[in-house]
Amino acid sequence: MKPSFRLAAAVLLLAGAVHAAEPEQLYQTHCASCHGTGRLGAIGPALLPENMGRLRGGAVAKVIAEGRVATQMPAFGQTLAREEIEALTAHIAKPLPVMPVWGAAEITASRVIEREAPPLAKPVFTADPMNLFVVVEIGDHHATILDGDRLEPLTRFPTRFALHGGPKFSPDGRFVYFMSRDGWVEKYDIWSLQKIGEIRAGINARNIALSADGRTIAVANYLPNSLVLLNAADLSLIRTLDAVDATGKTSRVSAVYQARPRNSFVVALKDVPEIWEIPTKGGDFPLRRIKTDEPLDDFFFDPSYAHVFGSAREGSASKVYDLNRGEQIAALTLPGLPHLGSGITFKHEGRPVMATPHLKSGLVSIIATDSWTTVKTVETPGPGFFMRSHENTPFAWTDSMMSKARDTMSILDKRSLQIVRSITPSPGKTAAHVEFDKDGRKVLVSIWEDPGELIVYDAATFAEIKRLPMRKPSGKYNVYNKITFSEGTSH
Ligand code: DHE
């Protein structure tokens, strides 16, 4: 449970005031700091009936009481009475008196360009622009640009509240685009170390993708149910696409991915059984629908991007679709809800494989992507979120941040497929999210606390090199690894 929730709950219990609270007051005390005072979402999703998808009544009460696996949602079963949980459930099931509109006019009106990017032949600093890290610090909503050779920050600047997902880099690595859960997309010029501008593309957004040519940004929204296309150059709106399936049913957009070799965006829809593909060349952005047998909301792609491996948070199996043929070619039942978005690829005994951690079990699944069969299931100390490696290292690092062993990183040998080392960087403190430097020689691990740290290890010997103080560094992203689509990192 987050400290602020614990404190609020303790104060209420001591005061004996829990039974008197009105639903709106309960909401403001326990929910508003994450879900927004107007229920429109912040670090947590918007709590509106239109936005709750398949989660209804009893299921909502269960989430309030027990928390939600694989999210920051804490359990309130010990701090709220049953009637209070029921009152909150009923409260968030009510539509807002006036539903905010966030269409083309509102998006366009929100756009602010602070400056043109200066014409530069090279960066204003001497550090290698390919070996920089962008570190997202959600403790105080800042980002740090870190020199990956000297391991010193070049600058630190404020970002929008609650960034989520990986920032996306222009193909030359000069510009980086961030997205906040409340829908803001920010553009930052790494070479001149200054912000270019921002635009609010939605009320509750999931992630962004940048087209292979670097010209178009796609924004996946839960609220409104839309995919928004922006010009990457000046952040102006190209168009909004309502997320509606072939039968007219509306859906939250779960995520959007750049399928670089296909020059397209691939879109995951939370509530309808379709995958979308949108070619990005030519500027017409025609929509192609691929029918699935259930909604799939977490995707992984093989290196050719011809196959998408999708799982549903509430679904039974993970499915593989051939994007060329537009049909399912395999299904795998994996034990503990794979977090496919965190998967990595590598070669094992000459075969292409992917490895993915699981959100509900302390397991890593190794799957051959030529046959879509499980090669091995490896045990870790507990469920984890992220996994990382690099072409130049035989090791992959994963966390157990969803468990009691949240302070421990496990190192998998990609040759033997065995965990060969456990590292507890700061006992009792959550260790998660790894990124390698450009050459795969150094490993950066986050201590997810506020204040937290970045800890740098030698990738070959696992010896600690340096600790840098950071404010809850949620993720860090190496420019070179990102723009070259390294097989060991997220894309
Ligand atoms: Fe994430 C990436 C979805 C909860 C931190 N997360 C992603 C991506 C998706 C996703 C689809 C890939 C998008 C991209 O990078 O373009 N995340 C989800 C969820 O559905 C889930 C489980 C529920 C939710 O609340 O949305 C979820 N995620 C979380 C968290 O609770 C985390 C740990 C803390 C936070 O900041 O909200 C979290 N997610 C991250 C991070 C990445 C991410 C740091 C980027 C990883 C990377 O290295 O690329």
The whole-angstrom separation of Cα 357 and Cα 181 is 24
Atom 23 of ligand 1: nearest residue by CA position = 71
Terminal CA-to-CA distance of the chain, rounded, Å?
30
Which residue out of 35, 164, 169 has the highest number of ligand 1 atoms within 8 Å of its CB and is therefore the one to mutate?
Answer: 164
CB atoms within 10 A of CB 208: 24
Angstrom CA distances, 205 to 44, 147, 161, 185, stand at 10, 30, 12, 10
Question: Between β-strands 464-470 and 344-348, what pairing exists: parallel, antiparallel or unpaired?
Answer: unpaired
Question: What are the DSSP calls for 400-430, one per residue?
Answer: -TTSTTTT-EEEEETTTTEEEEEE-SSTTS-
Phi, psi of 473 (to 5 degrees): -75, 100
CATH of 16-92 among 3.40.1280.10, 3.30.70.260, 3.40.640.10, 1.10.760.10:
1.10.760.10
Task: Assess whether the region 16-92 and the region 336-491 belong to the same CATH fold.
Answer: no
Question: Between β-strands 473-478 and 152-158, what pairing exists: parallel, antiparallel or unpaired?
Answer: unpaired
Q: What is the pLDDT of residue 53?
A: 61
Atom 21 of ligand 1: nearest residue by CA position = 71
* Contact predicate 309/301, CB 8 Å: yes
Check pocket membership of 5 for ligand 1, CB cut-off 6 A. no
* Contact predicate 264/277, CB 8 Å: yes
Atom 36 of ligand 1: nearest residue by CA position = 164
Which one, of 388, 396, 283, lies nearest residue 348 by Cα? Answer: 396
Q: What is the pLDDT of residue 335?
A: 72
Instruction: Estimate the crossing angle of helix 82-93 against helix 57-66, to 10 degrees.
Output: 130
Q: 236-275, pLDDT tens digit by residue?
A: 999 999 999 999 999 999 999 999 999 999 999 999 999 9
Q: 435-456, pLDDT tens digit by residue?
A: 999 999 999 999 999 999 999 9
SS3 state of residue 269 = strand
Question: Alpha helix locations (H) across 78-215?
Answer: 82-93, 104-110
Angstrom CA distances, 318 to 69, 108, 271, 362, stand at 18, 38, 16, 18
So what's the architecture of 336-491 in CATH?
7 Propeller (2.130)
pTM comes to: 0.89
CA of 168, closest atom in ligand 1: 16
Would the pLDDT of 371 be above 90? yes
Cα 474 to middle of ligand 1, angstroms: 10
Q: What is the pLDDT of residue 99?
A: 77
Would the pLDDT of 280 be above 50? yes
Cα 52 to middle of ligand 1, angstroms: 18
Cα 489 to middle of ligand 1, angstroms: 14
Average pLDDT over residues 47-54: 72
Check pocket membership of 310 for ligand 1, CB cut-off 6 A. no
Map out the domains of the chain as residue ranges.
Answer: 16-92, 336-491
